[in-house]
Each structure stands twice: as structure tokens, then as C-alpha cells.
Amino acid sequence: MTFLYHGLEARGAVWAEIFAARVPDLPFLRWGQDSVDPAQVRWLAAWNAPAEFIAQFPNLEVLFSVGAGIDQLPLDALPPQVRVVRMVEQGIITGMAEYVAMACLALHRDLPFFITEQRAGRWTYRHTRLAADTRVGVMGLGELGKAALEMLKPLGFPLSGWSRSAHSIEGVECFAGAKGFDAFLAQVGIAVCLLPLTPETRGILCRETFDKMPRGSAVVNAGRGGHLVADDLIVALDSGQLRAAMIDVTVPEPLPEGHPFFSHPAIFLTPHVAAETRHGSAGEVLADNVLRLLAGEPLLGEVDRTRGY
């Protein structure tokens, strides 16, 4: 019985030390560095493992994502008995909450506009608002969404949340399902997308969505690039329906040279850095889950494959 890691060498080295200390009787092997008997591999940790790579392990039981997302994994190609687990690690959660707070403050205070004016050599006044005047709505109320809302609360923004299923969060007006989506959009000044990427959420940041938001609103996408229809965003910004956007995830990554996101004056673009898996703390979480697995206990972050999250 073997645990196999496929990914960055630096992360693998840290995780090997953690497993040696915490799960010493379990062989922890690193793809490309250790000799691997595919028939012995029961558990695999990877970020992006192609279907043909996974297919060589006939006895695979659990696939661990090294990140919070799972849409990059070939779930449709996995045998139905293989369990899938996403990374639930405090570094990812805190990093995302910090990014969302930064993005909302930057968009609320019109930093894209002021930076454009600065670079053009202009000293241009624009009226500013207090946070209490801008409602922030978070799409996706899992660990990341809830942490982002908690980070935003002390800043004074009125807060809303939307998800597929109903939630109750203190200090947050919550909406749920298709029936609640339009009502959610109608009152948000900044919409933050932290949804999982599923067939239902792919392309959710589109012209139809933007048109249902108040004119002059802003958007933050730190979920997945597939949530956003890029051409629709450009149209919404150029028409004034949206005031600005902060984008951390794109399709493809990296964007090709000359893509309009690089030069658009109303877009802040970051290269998928909103939240990162921290080697040490993530390794501890993974070891915790392996110990849970050995003890027959529920796994932290296990995905319902029928729902995609």
C-alpha cells in the first residue's frame, strides 16, 4: 500500500518529511524520484494529473487535489469507486480572504481609475464613497466564501451571499438557488465569484449576469477562469454597465500576449495568486486526512462527485 505524490519537487520534499514523522509506516513516494509499483498505489496526491497518468494505477482508491479546486482533474475518467478530496488548508483560506478584501477596497475606492489617471499624468478628482455605501455580494458560501465575508465585515461593507443551497450567516443577507440569483445581483455593488467550477456555474459571469447588476458595479473573479465570459466582461466595461473588475483566474493561463485584459484600464489582473497551497501546513492537512483514512473516519474536504464539489 503506497501513497504517491505527483507535483512540485519542493513541495514533495516537505511532504515526505511530514509523512516520515507522522505516518512512518506508510511508503510516501514521489513520482519521477522514487521507484513506483503502480499496483501498490492506493492514494495519489496531484494538482493536474492527466487521465492516462491516473489510468496506470489499477488499485487507486483516493485522489487528493493539492489545491482547493478539483476541476483541473479528469473526474469523468475516474472509476466511480475512486474518492476525490480537495485541499482544505488554512493558508489557502486566509490568502483568499485577504485577496477579496484587497480587491473590494481597491474597486470600491476606484483604484483602476486613479492609477490610469496617474500614468497619464493627470490629477483628476473623483468623488469617493464610504464602504457603507457599497454592498458586496459573495457568490459561493463554502469555506472560502465564508472566510472572505468574515474578513470584509470589519470594513463596513453591507454584505450579501449567494449559493446553490440555503445558508444562514450572521450579518450577511443570504440568497439561494436560481430563484434567489436575480435578487442577489440586483443589489450588489461588487460581486465576488468564489464558486466551484461545475457545468452549472461555467460562464456564470456573463452579459446576462452583468446586465442584472446595478449600472456602475464591479466584479471580482477569484474562482476559476471558466466562470467568466471574457468578451462579455469587455463589453460591460466599455459600455459602463460595469465600472471595473479584478481578475485572478483566466482561460487560458497564462493569457496570450496582446490579450485585452493586460491593457484594459478598468481591469486589475493578477496571475492566479489569490490563494496558494502552503507546503508545510498543506502537508499537515494531508497527513491528517491519511490518518483519518487509516482510522476509517470521514475525510476533510471530500467531494460529492455527483455535484462536483
Residue 168 φ/ψ, nearest 5 degrees: -130, 115
Domain co-membership, 250 together with 282? no
Domain co-membership, 76 together with 131? no
- Closest CA relative to residue 31, chosen from 8, 62, 63: 8
Residue located via cell numbers 492566479: 272
Mean pLDDT of the chain: 96
Domain co-membership, 249 together with 108? yes
Domain co-membership, 79 together with 224? no
Length of the chain: 309
Kindly report the CATH number assigned to the domain that includes residue 287. 3.40.50.720
pLDDT digits (tens, 9 = 90+) for 165-219: 999 999 999 999 999 999 999 999 999 999 999 999 999 999 999 999 999 999 9
pLDDT higher than 90, residue 94: yes
Domain co-membership, 134 together with 161? yes
Question: Which of 6, 108, 224, 278 is the catalytic position?
Answer: 224
Domain co-membership, 61 together with 198? no
Question: Is 300 domain-assigned?
Answer: no
133 CB neighbour count, 10 Å cutoff: 12
Residue 179 φ/ψ, nearest 5 degrees: -65, -30
Question: Is 81 domain-assigned?
Answer: yes
d(CA 273, CA 288) in angstroms, rounded, equals 26
pLDDT digits (tens, 9 = 90+) for 6-46: 999 999 999 999 999 999 999 999 999 999 999 999 999 99
**87-114 mean pLDDT:** 96
Question: Is 303 domain-assigned?
Answer: no
Question: Is 304 domain-assigned?
Answer: no
SS3 (DSSP) at 277: coil
Question: Is 305 domain-assigned?
Answer: no
Domain co-membership, 65 together with 165? no
Q: Is the dihedral of CA 168, 172, 173, 174 positive or negative?
A: negative
Question: Is 190 domain-assigned?
Answer: yes
Identify the pLDDT of residue 307. Answer: 83
Structural domain for 64, as ranges: 2-89+277-295
Domain co-membership, 70 together with 85? yes
Question: Is 118 domain-assigned?
Answer: yes
Domain co-membership, 163 together with 24? no
Domain co-membership, 50 together with 111? no
Nearby residues of 81 by Cβ (< 8 Å), 6 or more positions away: 61
Identify the pLDDT of residue 269. Answer: 98
Domain co-membership, 82 together with 171? no
d(CA 299, CA 286) in angstroms, rounded, equals 10
Nearby residues of 295 by Cβ (< 8 Å), 6 or more positions away: none
d(CA 158, CA 160) in angstroms, rounded, equals 7
Q: Is 202 a catalytic residue?
A: no
Q: Is 272 a catalytic residue?
A: yes
Instruction: Give the alpha-carbon dihedral of 216, 103, 71, 68, to 10 degrees.
Output: -150
Domains in the chain, number: 2
* Sheet bearing 28-30, strands edge to edge: 28-30, 2-6, 41-46, 62-65, 83-85
Question: Which of 22, 42, 272, 292 is the catalytic position?
Answer: 272
Identify the pLDDT of residue 308. Answer: 79
Identify the pLDDT of residue 246. Answer: 98
Residue 143's pLDDT band, with cuts at 50, 70 and 90, is very high
pLDDT digits (tens, 9 = 90+) for 38-64: 999 999 999 988 999 999 999 999 999
Instruction: Give the alpha-carbon dihedral of 195, 197, 198, 201, to 10 degrees.
Output: 50
Region of 39 please: left (phi>0), alpha (psi -120 to 50) or beta.
Answer: alpha
d(CA 157, CA 177) in angstroms, rounded, equals 23
Helix (H) or strand (E) holding 20: helix 9-22
- Closest CA relative to residue 42, chosen from 64, 21, 25: 64
pLDDT higher than 90, residue 152: yes
Question: Is 264 domain-assigned?
Answer: yes
Domain co-membership, 247 together with 144? yes
d(CA 90, CA 278) in angstroms, rounded, equals 9
Amino acid sitting at position 59:
N
d(CA 92, CA 273) in angstroms, rounded, equals 10
